[in-house]
Amino acid sequence: MSNPLYLILIYPIIFILPAYVANGAPVIFGRGNPTPIDLNRKFRNRPIFGRHKTIRGLVGGIACGIFIGFIESQVPGFSFMFAVGILQSLGTHFGDLLGSFIKRQRGMKEGQKAELFDQYLFLIFALLFCLPIALPEFPVIYGIIFIFIFTWIMHRLTNIGAYLLKIKDVPW
Please state, in angstroms and rounded to a whole number, the distance separating the CA atoms of residues 50 and 35: 11
Percent of the chain with pLDDT over 70: 99
At 9, the amino acid letter reads: L
Instruction: Check whether 32 has a pLDDT greater than 80.
Output: no
pLDDT at 87 over 90: yes
Q: Give me the pLDDT at residue 1, please.
A: 62
Closest C-alpha to 172, from 99, 115, 108: 115
Confidence of residue 126 (pLDDT cuts 50, 70, 90): very high
Lowest-pLDDT choice from 6-15, 38-47, 103-112: 103-112
How much is the pLDDT for 110?
84
Is 31 a residue whose pLDDT tops 80? Answer: no
DSSP symbol at 30: T
pLDDT single digits (tens) 151-166 = 999 999 998 998 899 8
Vertex 37 angle, CA 35 and 41, to 5°: 95
Burial letters for 159-170: b for 16+ Cβ neighbours within 10 Å, e otherwise? beebeeeeebee
Tell me the average pLDDT of the chain: 94
Q: What pLDDT, on a 0 to 100 scale, did the predictor assign at position 161? A: 92
Sketch the domain layout of the chain as residue ranges.
17-139
Task: Determine the residue type at 1.
Answer: M
